Structure formats: structure tokens, C-alpha cells
Amino acid sequence: MSDINELAQSLKDIENQLTDCMKCGMCQAVCPVFKETGNEGDVARGKIFLLERLSDLMLTDAKGVKTRLDKCLMCGTCASNCPSGVKILEIFIKARAALTEYIGLSPVKKLIFRGMLKHPERMNALIEAASKLQGLGTSQADPELGTQCSKLLSRFIGDRHFLPLSKNPLHKTTPSLDSPVGKSGIKVAFFPGCVTDKMNPEIGLATLKVLKHHGVGVFMPKGQACCGIPALASGDRKTFDSLLDQNTALFAEMDFDYLITPCATCTATIKEIWPMMARNNSKSRSRADEWAPKTMDISQFLVDVLHVEPSGQNAGQQALSVTYHDPCHLQKSLGVSSQPRQIIRANPGCEFVEMNAAGTCCGNGGSFNLQNYDLSRSIGMKKRENILSTGASIVATSCPACMMQIRDVLSQNHDNVKVKHVIEIYADSLE
Amino acid sequence: MISKSIIKEFETICGKDGVMTSEVDRQNYSYDAAVLDPVVPAAVVRPGTGGEIGKIVALCNDNSIPVTVRGAGTNLSGGTIPMGNGIVLLTNRMNRIIELNDVDMYVRVEPGVVTATLAAQVASRGLFYPPDPGSQAVSTIAGNVAENAGGLRGLKYGVTKDYVMSIEFYDAMGRRVTSGSKTVKCVTGYNLAGLMTSSEGTLGIFSEITLKLIPPPQASKAMMAIYDSVEDATQTVAAIIADKIVPCTLELMDNFTINAVEDFSKAGLPRDAKALLLIEVDGHPVQVAEDGAKVEAICRKLGARHVQVAQNDAEKAKVWEARRAALSALARLKPTLVLEDATVPRSKIPAMVSAIEGLSRKYNLPIGTFGHAGDGNLHPTILTDRRDNDQWHRTERCVSDLFDAALALGGTLSGEHGIGIAKSGFLKNEVGQSSIDFSRAMKAAIDPNTILNPGKIIGC
Ligand SMILES: Cc1cc2nc3c(=O)[nH]c(=O)nc-3n(C[C@H](O)[C@H](O)[C@H](O)COP(=O)(O)OP(=O)(O)OC[C@H]3O[C@@H](n4cnc5c(N)ncnc54)[C@H](O)[C@@H]3O)c2cc1C
Ligand code: SF4
Ligand code: SF4
């Protein structure tokens, strides 16, 4: 597509959602990006206005609109505070797809999404190779946090501090699983998600340990693909469709009671974006619709379904103090915030401390972090201040992507605070 | 269009990143919260100091470039819709609280400070800045002053103008002018700070504002009274005031709004009630207890079928949650929401409410009415769809009739949202031609090249 009239036409699909915005500007109060820049184009009201103008052909600079749309964490804070209930994330996702269709995908993204992401085996092989090579040109950034920084890669990733790719990704140590239903009488399908699989397999292992402990049968099909959100957020619908088809075919092989992930973003994507974006009348669509109500974050599953409760014990002086960051995709997208806190309290050796603004975005925002690193970092630094002022020795959260960001901002400053997934904390308390 | 050389001069004044000229950036400053057609400015500038404001305005005056100053762009009357050949001057880089003086109880701020940020900062020092427009989480102090914004606490604590002690502004020639003082009393010269209040950016551009602060009330009590008739509810309002009790907040919600809120938040409101009064009294604990009991008794005596007094903070929060949800609940019902603020003397509220109901029937448009019953400032909220020509035409006629109804009852076109361009055509009906002529003569003398937010309030 290259005709602006066609672009305008495809935006008409979301016209009703666009007109729901009454331009009250209340989203300015909560948008983390607007807080940094004060630019109307960076907040939901401005982005929605630009889309309206584009769909009315009152504006022709589609590329300019796309850059404003991309400067967004997709955190949904605006949507959860919008008095008019505008479906902001749906608008953004659909508009990104329409604009990408019109402008085309950048060659780098094309390579990453269509050359790699779309083909899980190819991606795994490539990442394995990379994990062997990664020692080259990287140096240890913070021994405490285990992060590295890379001179060779700095052209692409700046001076970020990141965890090395795992030499033992989950898909290698546990390629697939079909464990029997135990005392809980429940069978779950397990979707670890890319970051857990490739960078933090310990989160996946902790989840499996916990599920086993509670007598939950696990079905984990081999060859799982990415949930699709990175591609979709970049407007690459084709890759998203293909990933969705691969995943839904895999998970359809067996019946399960719940679909569990330890990743806030994957949970929200499977629960909300899959049904929203799957092609009408496709097999994937009916499966996505069927699974959405069964899809849960691991903490929510443990608390709401298995009724795991706080330990009630007082660890006294020995207690490790743990604070918690609410991932946007759990708290704002799905309203899950008390359950992860309960899970931390379920470890008798931990004392939970609330941080200020726990629900404020950490600033990662997926590819936002790559495209707007300085902004991302300054948003992250506010999170860091709130973490540090709790005095906690561990900051826990429920999303491996947030963990990446938080690790980066803490490591940059050599702060002595460990970053963990909630499920690791709970797993540590189980024999 | 503005020439490249002038853009360069703006850049010299505000820095390169303080000037926006791309199509998308300019588009984003073409609208505000009013339901009006956007107008795309030729450039957007973001000064960081008063000195920069002065230079920008002088440059614009020399070149006859219209300047529309913008805070958060949340006004509901089109006050920040610029001219196509003009610039938008953004104040949000100037958002410092310059001085918070708890001994003399005032605060000096830059124009772009967000109202709620200021109120929180003031509260953290044990003081109180009462004006609380519904948009306070984003609105700016200069925007509040330039619109003379009100809020829920207007009845007892007054509106923004009651807190303005002094204003420093730049005139149309870019000269710095100060007026008012940090003292409680001040009679030196014309009350220019008063003139600047509700001037909507047409007379000068504020660079610093000094606001009065007061000690906060020590206690408060909230309650909800449920009525089977609007008349009874409004009689109650009059009776409370007649009994010399001034609640800090006295809000009304009509049946349509009650049902919208109930659909939206399932707060447990009585769907069959014709009206709700939401009342809060505050002050010294002893007085609060006494006033609270008196108000409760008045409500019952004048026909409230039920009075729910909040027993703790959680219950109090619930009372106000219902009121705060009103706009959100109505906004979800139709694509376009026209929020009006025609205001009548308190005693005329029953007549106004029935006039509104009549208009809703006449034009076949749903209207939810809620608002500040205590000061006669209702918010009839018309639910419509701007894309539908017929509906929109009916809406415009309905709004016009609504103004007539308010004026016929001795009221005013706008209690707090301002005139802007949305109501400038109706101004004459209220204030008469001589008032407009006087204002125009004054404007022409102050701003001979008509560069300060042209077209607003008094038309062109
Ligand atoms: C959801 C919602 C609720 C609202 N609730 C209320 C309410 O309860 N009470 C109420 O009164 N209003 C209310 N409003 C209207 C609006 O928020 C107020 O008018 C507010 O004062 C506008 O502030 P702003 O910073 O957005 O100003 P803007 O909209 O940016 O500007 C308003 C006017 O002020 C002028 N101006 C701005 N800065 C300066 C300056 N530095 N010097 C000179 N002129 C300047 C502008 O030119 C314009 O004419 C509400 C609006 C919304 C969307
Ligand atoms: S808060 Fe919602 S309705 Fe208001 S401007 Fe933002 S997106 Fe639009
Ligand atoms: S999703 Fe987050 S970053 Fe994007 S506009 Fe909304 S609040 Fe801002």
C-alpha cells in the first residue's frame, strides 16, 4: 500500500474508538513520557488527534505521525485513567499496523522479525551461537548484579548494562513437558516467553518447581514461538499472525485448565491482544477467544486458584526485605496487583516493603527502550529512586522485561539491590 | 506562514529545541478541550524564562504575528485555538514554584506549574490552596487565572481570582509589567492583576503569579442526601444557606446522571432518585459537628428520603467518588460530549433544571445535569455525535437556547469555563454592546496590532 487514501481508509476501522476521545487532556497527568518531554504529541490525546487528522486527510506526514506513535511505552497508564474509557492501546496497536503497512517495515526490523522471530528454531540456533560469542568485547559491568556492558555492541544498544544470554536456555534444558496432574487436580499449559527462555531460564525453572510442589500437571509443547507483541508493536502484522498460528496450533494439542506465564507482557498479550488481533473466523481466533479467560499470570494463579496464602510467620531480624514493582501489563492491563505481593509474603524469610509509585512504569516499553534510550533511562531512574528509598535488598516484579530495565538502571549506579521475579522468591521458600 | 528568518530569531531566543515547526508538531497545538474546529499554528515556541517571553512577544508585535499562549490546553471554550498565521506560546517549560512562604502565607509560581502539584506542595507545608477545578491534575496556574477557574470548593472558598495577589506579565510590546503585591492589602494603581484574571491571554502573558494561601480546615464531614424531586433538593440548598451555614461543597446530580454513574461504577446509587445532593462541611471540629447535624436535619425536613452521613474517610471517599465519576460516566455514552456551565442565582436552580429538561425533550438530545448547586453553577452535559450533521445542528441550537434560558433567569453564560471563541458570539446578549465597545477600546489601546490571542472573548 502506498496510497495515503488507502491509509486513511484503513484508519476508518478505528474511527469510532478515536472519536471516543474528548480531548480533555487528563492523560497528561499520568503519561510517563509526557512527564519527561511536555510534548503534546507524546501523550495519548495528541497521538489520537494526529490519527484523526490522518484519517480525515487533514495531515499528510504519515511518517511524522508514526514517529510520535512509536514514542510510547505502550504502558496503558493513560488508558486506565482515561475518563472516557478510550481503548487507547487497541488504537495504538491497530494504527501502528496500518502505518507500517503504508510506510513499510525498516530493513533491520524486517530481518529481525521475518528472518528470525518468525522461525523459533532459527532464532534459538542464532541465539545459542551468540551466547557463545558474547564474551567477546563485553566486560563485567556490575559483579553483584551479574550484568555486562558491551563496547562492540554499543553502536546498537548504547552503554546498557544487560544480563548475558543464558548458556542453558529453558528450551534446551526442558524442551517440552507433559507432567501428570497431581493433588491439585489441575493441568496447566505453560508459556515461559522469550526473555524467560533465553535470558532468565531460572524464572522458568522456579515456576516449574512451584507448579510441581502444588501438584499441578504441566503441558509445555516443544518449539514455542514468541507471543508476537514485539512484532505487533512495530506494526508487523504478518509476523504476528504467523507467530499466533504457530503457538495456537502447538497449544491446541492438549486440553488444559489454565494457560500460565511468568511474564506480565505475555499474559496481557495472550489474554487481550490475541483475541483482539487474530483474523476473524480463523482457527487461531476461536482458540484465542477460548483461552483468554483461562490465561493467568503465575501469581494470580497461585493466589486465586490454588489459594496460596501469606506465611503468617515473622522472620524477625533475619528477614530479607523485598519490595515490588507493578508491571504495567499486569496492574493496568489486567488489574493484577495484590496477588504478587501475597506471593512474596508467602515466603516466611521475607519482609515485604511497599515502594512509592510502585505502579509507575519502569520505562522499558520494549523497543521504546531501544529507540529512545535516554528517555527510557530517565524514566527508569525515577523507579530506581523509589526502589532505593525503601531500603529493600531485593526488588521483585512479575515481568522479565521490567527486570531487564530495572537491572540496567541499578547496575549503572552499582546499587546493591538484587532483582528477582516474584516466583523465584516463592520457590526459594519451598523444599 | 512565518518567514525562515523569524523562525531563526525564535530559535535564538528559546534555543533550537524550544521551537517546533514540523507539520505534526504544529497540528498538535491546534485544538483544546472545546468541541471546535482545530486551527493549525505556523509555529510553536517554548520559552523558559520571562525574559524570553518578552523577546518573543516583541518580535511578534513588530511583525504582526498573533500569539496564543497555552498552558495544558484543557479549557472548554477554545481559548487556546490559535490563528493560522500565528504562533502558540507554550508555558510548560516554566513550571517552577519560586517561593513558598509559610510565614506570610503566599506562594510565587511560574505560569506553567500544574495546579495539583502546587496544591500538594502547599499541603505538605501545612497550608491550603483551595481552588480545585476538575482538571487540576493537569491544568496550569496561569490557565486557571486566565480563565478564573472555579471548582468544587467555590461556594465557601471562592474561585481562583480570590487567591491572586499579584501578577507579573508581558504586554503586547513585550514589556514587563508588575501589579499587585505580596501584602494582603495593596491599592497602588489600577488593579491590573484583577484585569488580567479571566483575560484568556488577550491582554498580557503572565510570567509569574503570586497566590494567597490559607490554613487548612481541621475537620470535615461529608454526606449524601437522596431526593424524589429536584425542587426539594434545591429548596434544601437555599435553606442551608439561609441558615447561615456555608458548606465547602454542595453538589447536585440529576436522575440521568445518577443512572449513568450507576451503569458505569455500580456504586449503589438509587436509580429512581430524582436528585442527589452531595454535601461537605469543614472547619473547626466542634463547628463541623454542629453544622453537619444541622445540615442533616435540614435535608430531612425538606424532603430527603434518605441521608447517608459518611462515618469515616473510606465512606467519605465513596461519596465523592460518585461525583467524580459523573463526567466519565456521561462521556462513555455518546461520541461527543458538550459540557456547559451556564450559571443562575441559586434560587433559580429548579427553574433552570426544568428548562434543561425541556430542551432535552425539544431537541431530542440526552442531557445529564450535575454541578455546583451551592453556587448555581450547573453543568448541563449534552450527549451527542458531532459527525452527525442533524444531531450537531440540534446541539448548537440547544446550546443557544440554554444560554437564553440562563440569561432569562438572571444568570450568566459561563460560571467558570470562559468565553473563548465558543461563546464570544453570545456575549452581547449578556453584557450588552457598550460593555463590548469598552472592552474593545481597551484592547485596542493595550494591543494596537491585535496580536494577543485575537478573536477570543470580544471577537475580532
Ligand atoms: C475534565 C475537565 C474538567 C474541568 N473542570 C473544571 C472545573 O471544575 N472548573 C473550571 O473552572 N474549569 C474546569 N475545566 C476547564 C479548564 O480546565 C480550566 O479552564 C483551566 O483553568 C484551564 O487551564 P489550562 O492550563 O489547561 O489552560 P489552557 O487551556 O491552556 O488556557 C486557558 C486560557 O488561558 C490562557 N493562558 C494560559 N496561560 C496563560 C499565561 N501564561 N498568560 C496569559 N494567559 C494564559 C490561554 O490563552 C487560554 O485563553 C475543566 C476541563 C476539563 C477538560
Ligand atoms: S484522557 Fe482519554 S479522553 Fe481525555 S484526552 Fe486522554 S485519551 Fe482523550
Ligand atoms: S501508553 Fe503509556 S507512554 Fe503511551 S501514551 Fe499512554 S501513558 Fe503515555
Residue ranges covered by each domain of chain B: 4-90, 97-212, 219-408
Asked if A268 and A351 sit in the same domain, the reply is no
pLDDT at A121: 82
Question: Are A328 and A231 part of one and the same domain?
Answer: no
CA distances from residue A395 to A263, A320, A354, A358, A423 in whole angstroms, order as listed: 16, 11, 10, 11, 12
Contacts of residue A389, defined as CB under 8 A and 6 or more positions apart, other chains included, come to A355, A356
Q: Which grid coordinates are listed for B244? A: 447561615
Q: What percent of chain B has pLDDT over 90?
A: 87
State the fold for domain B219-408: Vanillyl-alcohol Oxidase; Chain A, domain 3 (3.40.462)
Strands A186-190 and A216-220 come out as parallel
Tell me the sheet residues that pair with B216.
none
Written as nine digits, the cell of B150 is 472555579
Atom 21 (ligand 1): residue with closest C-alpha? B144
Identify whether the C-beta of residue B343 lies closer than 8 Å to the C-beta of residue B403. Answer: no
Q: Is there a single domain that holds both residue A332 and residue A393?
A: yes
At A154 the pLDDT is 59
Clarify whether residues A287 and A345 are in a common domain: no
Residue A85 shares a structural domain with residue A30: yes
Q: Do A277 and A346 reside in the same domain of the chain?
A: no
Say if B354 is an interface residue toward chain A (CB within 8 Å): no
* Nearest-angstrom CA–CA distance, B204 and B170: 5
Q: In this complex, do A40 and B336 lie within 8 Å of one another by their Cβ atoms?
A: no
Q: Which residues, listed in sequence order, are joined to residue A323 by a DSSP beta bridge?
A: A353, A395
Whether A21 lines ligand 2, by a CB cut-off of 6 Å, is yes
Q: Is residue A125 included in any domain, yes or no?
A: no
Average pLDDT, chain B: 95
One domain for residues A299 and A399: no
The confidence score (pLDDT) of residue A153 equals: 57
Question: When comparing pLDDT for B460 and B126, which is higher?
Answer: B126
Closest ligand to A31 CA? 3
Instruction: Kindly state if the Cβ of B134 falls inside 6 Å of ligand 1.
Output: yes
**What is the CA angle B332-B333-B334, rounded to 5?**
100
**Interchain CB contacts (distance < 8 Å): A and B:** 80
Please check whether residue B261 touches A, CB under 8 A.
no
| Phi-psi label, residue B262: left if phi above 0, alpha if psi -120 to 50, beta otherwise | alpha
In this prediction the pTM is 0.92
pLDDT at A186: 97
Same domain (yes/no): A184, A281: yes
**Is A31 inside a domain boundary?**
yes
Q: What confidence score (pLDDT) does residue A167 get?
A: 85
What is the CATH classification number for the domain harbouring A230?
1.20.1050
Chain B residues in contact with A61 by the CB 8 A cut-off are: 22-24
pLDDT in tens, chain A (431 residues): 468 888 988 898 899 899 999 999 999 999 999 999 999 999 999 999 999 999 999 998 999 999 999 999 999 999 999 999 999 999 999 999 999 999 988 888 887 888 778 888 877 877 777 777 676 667 777 777 777 776 555 555 667 777 778 888 999 999 999 999 999 999 999 999 999 999 999 999 999 999 999 999 999 999 999 999 999 999 999 999 999 999 999 999 999 999 999 999 999 999 999 999 999 999 999 999 999 999 999 999 999 999 999 988 876 778 899 999 999 999 999 999 999 999 999 999 999 999 999 999 999 988 888 888 899 999 999 999 999 999 999 999 999 999 999 999 999 899 999 999 999 999 999 97
Query: Given B24, B116, B328, which is nearest A64 (Cβ)?
Result: B24
Question: On the CB side of A217, how many CA atoms lie within 13 Å of its CA?
Answer: 14
Of A421, A424, A418, nearest in space to A146 by CA: A418
Asked if residue A216 and residue A93 are part of one domain, the reply reads: no
Does A83 contact B at CB distance below 8 Å?
yes
Do A334 and A295 lie in a common domain? no
List pLDDT tens digits, range B244-301: 999 999 999 999 999 999 998 888 899 999 999 999 999 999 999 999 999 999 999 9
Contact assignment for A26 to B135 by CB distance below 8 Å:
yes
Return the closest-CA partner of residue A427 out of A203, A260, A266, A217: A203
Residue A84 CB less than 6 A away from ligand 2: yes
Residues A293, A212, single domain; the answer is yes
Ligand showing the shortest atom-to-Cα distance for residue A18: 2
- Does residue A144 form part of some domain? no
Closest CA to ligand 2's atom 4: A24
* Cα B96 from Cα B175, distance rounded (Å): 22
- A49-to-A9, A77, B327 alpha-carbon distances in Å: 16, 18, 21
Chain A touched by B17 (CB under 8 Å): no
Cα-based angle B377, B382, B387 (whole degrees, multiple of 5) = 145
In angstroms, what separates the C-alpha of A54 from chain B's closest C-alpha? 10
**CATH code where residue A9 lies:** 1.10.1060.10
Q: Which structural domain, as residue segments, surrounds residue A19?
A: 2-103
Whole-number Å distance, alpha carbon A38 to ligand 3 midpoint, is: 13
Does A17 contact B at CB distance below 8 Å? no
Q: A217 by DSSP, 3-state: which?
A: strand
Select, from the ranges A125-129, B199-203, B323-327, the one with the highest average predicted confidence (pLDDT).
Answer: B199-203
DSSP state of A359: T
Closest listed ligand to the CA of B73: 1
Closest A-chain CA to B95: A38
Print the SS3 string covering chain B.
CCCHHHHHHHHHHHCHHHEECCHHHHHCCCCCCCCCCCCCCCEEECCCCHHHHHHHHHHHHHCCCCEEEECCCCCCCCCCCCCCCCEEEECCCCCCEEEEECCCCEEEECCCCEHHHHHHHHHHCCCECCCCCCCCCCCEHHHHHHHCCCCCCHHHHCCHHHHEEEEEEECCCCCEEEEECCCCCCCCCCCHHHHHCCCCCCCCEEEEEEEECECCCCEEEEEEEEECCHHHHHHHHHHHHHCCCCCCEEEEEEHHHHHHHHHHHCCCCCCCCCEEEEEEEEECHHHHHHHHHHHHHHHHHCCCCEEEECCCHHHHHHHHHHHHHHHHHHHCCCCEEEECCCECCHHHHHHHHHHHHHHHHHCCCCEEEEEEHHHCEEEEEEEECCCCHHHHHHHHHHHHHHHHHHHHCCCECCCCCCCCCCCHHHHHHHHCHHHHHHHHHHHHHHCCCCCECCCCCCCC
CB contact under 8 A, A41 and B336: no
Q: Is A29 domain-assigned? A: yes
| Chain B CB contacts of A83 below 8 Å | 327-328, 331
ipTM above 0.85, yes or no: yes
Domain with residues B97-212, CATH architecture = 2-Layer Sandwich (3.30)
Residue A354 belongs to domain with CATH number? 3.40.50.10700
Residue in chain B closest to A45 (alpha carbons) equals B28
Ligand closest in space to the Cα of A74: 3
The pLDDT value given to residue A135: 65
- Show which of A275, A305, A335 is a domain's final residue: A305
Q: Report the residue of B17, B20, B22, B27 to disrupt the A interface, i.e. the one with the largest count of A CBs within 10 Å.
A: B27
Q: Does the structure show a pLDDT above 90 at B126? A: yes
Reference A267, options A119, A75, A399, A420; nearest CA is A399
A152 touching B (Cβ < 8 Å): no
**Cross-chain Cβ contact A28/B72 below 8 Å:** yes
Specify the range with the lowest mean pLDDT, choosing from B84-98, B233-247, B276-290.
Answer: B233-247
What tens digit of pLDDT does each residue of B386-400 get? 999 999 999 999 999
Query: Which among A305, A332, A348 is the end of a domain?
Result: A305
**A327 part of a folded domain:** yes
- The number of distinct structural domains making up chain A is 3
**A84 vs chain B: nearest CA distance in angstroms?**
5
A26, A38, A50: residue with CB nearest B27: A50
> Contact A24/B33, CB-based, under 8 Å?
yes
More confident residue, B182 or B297: B297
Q: Any chain A CB within 8 A of the CB of B326? A: no
Q: Is residue A110 domain-resident?
A: no
More confident residue, B346 or A383: A383
Element (H, E) at A413: none
pLDDT confidence bin for B73, thresholds 50/70/90: very high
> φ, ψ for residue A342 (rounded to 5)?
-60, -40
Report d(CA B30, CA B134) in Å as an integer.
23
- Interface membership of A20 toward B (CB under 8 Å): yes
Check whether residue A200 and residue A290 sit in a common domain. Answer: yes
Select from A103, A138, A155 the last residue of a domain. A103
Give domain B4-90's CATH number out of 3.30.43.10, 3.40.50.970, 1.10.8.60, 3.40.640.10. 3.30.43.10
Residue A117 covered by a domain: no
Does any CB of chain B come closer than 8 Å to the CB of residue A51?
no
Q: How many CA atoms lie within 13 A of A35 on its CB side?
A: 18
